[in-house]
Protein backbone atom coordinates (compact mmCIF):
# COMPACT_ATOMS: atom_id res chain seq x y z
CA UNK A 1 0.00 0.00 0.00
CA UNK A 2 1.13 3.58 -0.38
CA UNK A 3 3.45 4.66 2.36
CA UNK A 4 2.23 7.02 5.08
CA UNK A 5 -1.31 7.23 3.78
CA UNK A 6 -3.59 9.14 6.13
CA UNK A 7 -7.38 9.19 6.16
CA UNK A 8 -7.54 7.41 2.79
CA UNK A 9 -9.20 4.04 2.56
CA UNK A 10 -6.07 1.81 2.21
CA UNK A 11 -2.61 -11.37 -3.45
CA UNK A 12 -4.54 -18.23 -6.23
CA UNK A 13 -3.08 -18.92 -8.90
CA UNK A 14 -6.00 -18.60 -11.30
CA UNK A 15 -8.34 -15.61 -11.49
CA UNK A 16 -10.89 -15.31 -14.27
CA UNK A 17 -8.89 -17.79 -16.32
CA UNK A 18 -5.57 -16.02 -15.76
CA UNK A 19 -2.66 -17.68 -14.00
CA UNK A 20 -1.08 -15.75 -11.16
CA UNK A 21 2.33 -16.67 -9.72
CA UNK A 22 3.48 -15.15 -6.46
CA UNK A 23 6.88 -13.48 -6.17
CA UNK A 24 9.52 -15.70 -4.63
CA UNK A 25 10.85 -12.89 -2.46
CA UNK A 26 7.74 -12.73 -0.28
CA UNK A 27 7.98 -13.52 3.39
CA UNK A 28 6.52 -16.98 3.89
CA UNK A 29 4.11 -15.73 6.54
CA UNK A 30 2.44 -13.30 4.18
CA UNK A 31 2.82 -15.57 1.13
CA UNK A 32 0.61 -18.19 2.77
CA UNK A 33 -2.10 -15.67 3.55
CA UNK A 34 -1.96 -14.17 0.07
CA UNK A 35 -2.30 -17.58 -1.60
CA UNK A 36 -5.20 -18.52 0.69
CA UNK A 37 -7.04 -15.28 0.02
CA UNK A 38 -6.64 -15.41 -3.72
CA UNK A 39 -7.56 -19.08 -4.11
CA UNK A 40 -10.96 -18.28 -2.65
CA UNK A 41 -11.77 -16.44 -5.85
CA UNK A 42 -11.77 -19.78 -7.65
CA UNK A 43 -14.33 -21.28 -5.28
CA UNK A 44 -16.58 -18.24 -5.18
CA UNK A 45 -17.00 -14.79 -6.63
CA UNK A 46 -16.02 -13.13 -3.37
CA UNK A 47 -12.56 -11.83 -2.54
CA UNK A 48 -11.72 -11.17 1.14
CA UNK A 49 -9.26 -8.35 1.84
CA UNK A 50 -8.42 -6.04 4.74
CA UNK A 51 -8.09 -2.32 5.32
CA UNK A 52 -6.52 -0.37 8.16
CA UNK A 53 -7.51 3.13 9.23
CA UNK A 54 -7.62 5.46 12.22
CA UNK A 55 -11.41 5.63 11.99
CA UNK A 56 -14.14 3.04 11.86
CA UNK A 57 -15.41 2.63 8.29
CA UNK A 58 -18.84 1.41 7.23
CA UNK A 59 -18.67 2.59 3.62
CA UNK A 60 -15.75 3.35 1.27
CA UNK A 61 -15.96 6.44 -0.90
CA UNK A 62 -13.93 8.07 -3.64
CA UNK A 63 -12.79 11.66 -3.54
CA UNK A 64 -11.56 11.67 0.05
CA UNK A 65 -8.96 14.38 0.48
CA UNK A 66 -5.88 13.69 2.59
CA UNK A 67 -2.13 14.11 2.73
CA UNK A 68 0.59 11.75 1.59
CA UNK A 69 3.94 12.09 3.37
CA UNK A 70 7.03 11.05 1.42
CA UNK A 71 10.63 12.13 1.79
CA UNK A 72 9.66 14.65 4.47
CA UNK A 73 7.22 16.31 2.10
CA UNK A 74 3.44 16.49 2.24
CA UNK A 75 1.36 15.98 -0.91
CA UNK A 76 -2.34 16.74 -1.11
CA UNK A 77 -4.24 13.86 -2.70
CA UNK A 78 -7.82 12.98 -3.55
CA UNK A 79 -8.53 9.24 -3.47
CA UNK A 80 -9.43 7.50 -6.73
CA UNK A 81 -10.51 4.38 -4.87
CA UNK A 82 -9.33 2.34 -1.89
CA UNK A 83 -6.30 0.19 -1.09
CA UNK A 84 -6.53 -3.19 0.65
CA UNK A 85 -4.14 -5.80 2.04
CA UNK A 86 -4.46 -9.57 1.76
CA UNK A 87 -3.19 -10.10 5.30
CA UNK A 88 -4.80 -8.37 8.31
CA UNK A 89 -1.41 -8.01 10.01
CA UNK A 90 -0.29 -5.59 7.30
CA UNK A 91 -3.14 -3.20 8.03
CA UNK A 92 -1.92 -2.41 11.55
CA UNK A 93 0.65 -0.10 10.01
CA UNK A 94 -2.13 2.09 8.63
CA UNK A 95 -4.35 2.57 11.66
CA UNK A 96 -5.75 1.13 14.84
CA UNK A 97 -8.87 -0.27 13.19
CA UNK A 98 -8.78 -3.29 10.87
CA UNK A 99 -11.71 -3.89 8.55
CA UNK A 100 -12.51 -7.15 6.77
CA UNK A 101 -13.89 -6.30 3.33
CA UNK A 102 -15.74 -8.60 0.94
CA UNK A 103 -15.44 -7.71 -2.75
CA UNK A 104 -17.63 -9.48 -5.29
CA UNK A 105 -16.21 -10.68 -8.62
CA UNK A 106 -13.71 -7.85 -9.31
CA UNK A 107 -12.18 -7.64 -12.80
CA UNK A 108 -8.56 -6.76 -12.01
CA UNK A 109 -5.68 -5.56 -14.12
CA UNK A 110 -3.13 -8.11 -12.90
CA UNK A 111 0.29 -9.47 -13.70
CA UNK A 112 0.16 -12.98 -15.18
CA UNK A 113 3.69 -13.94 -14.15
CA UNK A 114 6.12 -13.23 -11.36
CA UNK A 115 8.87 -11.34 -13.19
CA UNK A 116 8.94 -8.37 -15.51
CA UNK A 117 10.90 -6.85 -18.41
CA UNK A 118 13.93 -8.85 -19.47
CA UNK A 119 12.37 -12.17 -18.41
CA UNK A 120 8.81 -12.25 -19.68
CA UNK A 121 5.95 -9.90 -20.39
CA UNK A 122 2.28 -9.08 -20.14
CA UNK A 123 -0.07 -10.46 -22.76
CA UNK A 124 -0.41 -8.14 -25.76
CA UNK A 125 -3.88 -6.89 -24.80
CA UNK A 126 -2.80 -5.68 -21.38
CA UNK A 127 0.48 -4.41 -22.72
CA UNK A 128 -1.38 -2.08 -25.08
CA UNK A 129 -3.85 -1.11 -22.39
CA UNK A 130 -1.08 -0.20 -19.95
CA UNK A 131 0.64 1.88 -22.61
CA UNK A 132 -2.59 3.84 -23.15
CA UNK A 133 -3.08 4.32 -19.41
CA UNK A 134 0.41 5.77 -19.13
CA UNK A 135 -0.02 7.97 -22.18
CA UNK A 136 -3.23 9.38 -20.70
CA UNK A 137 -1.35 10.21 -17.49
CA UNK A 138 1.75 11.78 -19.02
CA UNK A 139 2.30 15.47 -19.64
CA UNK A 140 4.65 16.16 -22.54
CA UNK A 141 5.57 12.45 -22.50
CA UNK A 142 6.75 12.62 -18.88
CA UNK A 143 5.22 11.17 -15.70
CA UNK A 144 6.62 12.47 -12.43
CA UNK A 145 4.85 11.19 -9.29
CA UNK A 146 6.23 10.97 -5.79
CA UNK A 147 8.98 8.34 -6.13
CA UNK A 148 8.03 7.33 -9.68
CA UNK A 149 9.45 8.89 -12.87
CA UNK A 150 8.79 7.71 -16.42
CA UNK A 151 9.63 9.07 -19.87
CA UNK A 152 7.52 7.88 -22.79
CA UNK A 153 9.67 7.61 -25.95
CA UNK A 154 8.55 10.10 -28.59
CA UNK A 155 8.99 7.44 -31.28
CA UNK A 156 6.81 4.86 -29.47
CA UNK A 157 4.73 2.98 -32.05
CA UNK A 158 1.67 1.29 -30.53
CA UNK A 159 0.97 -0.48 -33.84
CA UNK A 160 4.25 -2.42 -33.74
CA UNK A 161 3.66 -6.17 -33.59
CA UNK A 162 6.11 -7.70 -31.15
CA UNK A 163 5.51 -11.30 -30.09
CA UNK A 164 8.89 -12.22 -28.60
CA UNK A 165 9.27 -13.56 -25.07
CA UNK A 166 10.98 -10.32 -24.15
CA UNK A 167 9.66 -6.87 -25.09
CA UNK A 168 11.35 -4.93 -27.86
CA UNK A 169 12.85 -1.51 -27.06
CA UNK A 170 9.62 -0.03 -28.41
CA UNK A 171 7.60 -1.68 -25.62
CA UNK A 172 10.12 -2.09 -22.79
CA UNK A 173 9.44 1.31 -21.21
CA UNK A 174 5.98 0.33 -19.93
CA UNK A 175 7.55 -2.23 -17.59
CA UNK A 176 8.81 0.53 -15.38
CA UNK A 177 5.19 0.91 -14.29
CA UNK A 178 4.51 -2.73 -13.36
CA UNK A 179 6.35 -5.24 -11.17
CA UNK A 180 5.84 -8.82 -10.08
CA UNK A 181 3.05 -7.76 -7.73
CA UNK A 182 1.17 -5.36 -9.95
CA UNK A 183 0.98 -1.69 -10.88
CA UNK A 184 3.29 0.84 -9.22
CA UNK A 185 1.12 2.41 -6.53
CA UNK A 186 2.04 6.02 -7.31
CA UNK A 187 -0.01 5.88 -10.52
CA UNK A 188 -3.21 5.07 -8.67
CA UNK A 189 -3.52 8.57 -7.25
CA UNK A 190 -3.74 9.89 -10.81
CA UNK A 191 -7.33 10.45 -12.04
CA UNK A 192 -6.36 10.09 -15.71
CA UNK A 193 -4.68 6.71 -15.14
CA UNK A 194 -7.57 5.30 -13.11
CA UNK A 195 -10.18 6.66 -15.51
CA UNK A 196 -8.48 4.98 -18.47
CA UNK A 197 -8.21 1.72 -16.52
CA UNK A 198 -11.94 1.86 -15.84
CA UNK A 199 -12.65 2.55 -19.52
CA UNK A 200 -10.97 -0.77 -20.31
CA UNK A 201 -13.45 -2.46 -17.97
CA UNK A 202 -11.28 -3.00 -14.92
CA UNK A 203 -12.59 -2.54 -11.39
CA UNK A 204 -9.09 -2.23 -9.96
CA UNK A 205 -5.66 -3.79 -10.00
CA UNK A 206 -3.12 -5.66 -7.97
CA UNK A 207 -0.41 -3.33 -6.69
CA UNK A 208 3.34 -3.82 -6.38
CA UNK A 209 4.47 -4.02 -2.75
CA UNK A 210 7.62 -4.81 -0.79
CA UNK A 211 8.09 -8.33 0.59
CA UNK A 212 7.35 -6.96 4.07
CA UNK A 213 3.86 -6.12 2.83
CA UNK A 214 3.18 -9.47 1.17
CA UNK A 215 4.49 -8.61 -2.30
CA UNK A 216 1.18 -7.24 -3.54
CA UNK A 217 -1.95 -5.44 -2.42
CA UNK A 218 -5.24 -4.51 -4.04
CA UNK A 219 -6.51 -1.20 -5.36
CA UNK A 220 -10.23 -0.97 -6.10
CA UNK A 221 -11.70 1.99 -7.97
CA UNK A 222 -15.15 0.49 -8.53
CA UNK A 223 -16.26 0.61 -4.92
CA UNK A 224 -19.70 -0.73 -5.81
CA UNK A 225 -18.01 -4.15 -5.88
CA UNK A 226 -17.76 -4.01 -2.09
CA UNK A 227 -20.69 -5.85 -0.53
CA UNK A 228 -19.63 -6.10 3.12
CA UNK A 229 -17.41 -4.23 5.58
CA UNK A 230 -16.77 -5.78 8.99
CA UNK A 231 -14.75 -4.22 11.79
CA UNK A 232 -12.42 -6.82 13.26
CA UNK A 233 -11.73 -6.89 16.97
CA UNK A 234 -8.20 -7.45 18.16
CA UNK A 235 -7.23 -9.73 21.03
CA UNK A 236 -7.10 -6.88 23.53
CA UNK A 237 -10.67 -5.83 22.68
CA UNK A 238 -11.89 -9.41 23.12
CA UNK A 239 -10.09 -9.71 26.47
CA UNK A 240 -11.64 -6.41 27.63
CA UNK A 241 -15.10 -7.67 26.70
CA UNK A 242 -14.52 -10.91 28.62
CA UNK A 243 -13.38 -8.92 31.68
CA UNK A 244 -16.53 -6.80 31.47
CA UNK A 245 -18.70 -9.91 31.39
CA UNK A 246 -16.86 -11.39 34.38
CA UNK A 247 -17.34 -8.25 36.47
Cα separation, 219 vs 222, in Å, equals 9
**Mean per-residue pLDDT, 102-122:** 70
Mean pLDDT lowest among 23-27, 143-147, 174-178? 23-27
**Mean per-residue pLDDT, 202-211:** 91
**Mean per-residue pLDDT, 204-208:** 93
Q: Quick check: 46 pLDDT over 80?
A: yes
Q: Select the more confidently predicted residue: 175 or 2.
A: 175
| pLDDT number for residue 1 | 57
Cα separation, 192 vs 196, in Å, equals 6
Cα separation, 239 vs 161, in Å, equals 62
| pLDDT number for residue 136 | 96
Coil, strand or helix: which one is 43? helix
Q: Quick check: 140 pLDDT over 60?
A: yes
The pTM of the full predicted model, rounded to 2 decimals, is: 0.76
Q: Quick check: 20 pLDDT over 50?
A: no
Closest C-alpha to 15, from 214, 195, 175, 182? 182
**Mean per-residue pLDDT, 175-193:** 92
Q: Select the more confidently predicted residue: 216 or 120.
A: 216
**Mean per-residue pLDDT, 33-56:** 72
Residues recorded for the chain: 247
Amino acid sequence: MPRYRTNVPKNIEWVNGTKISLGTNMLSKYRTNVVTALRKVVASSDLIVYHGSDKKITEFKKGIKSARFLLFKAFDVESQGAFFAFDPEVTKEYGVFTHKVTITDPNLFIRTDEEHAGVDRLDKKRERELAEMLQATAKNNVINLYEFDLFIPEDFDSSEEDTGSQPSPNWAWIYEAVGSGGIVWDLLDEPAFVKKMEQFGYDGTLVEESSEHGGKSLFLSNLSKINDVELLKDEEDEEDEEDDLDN
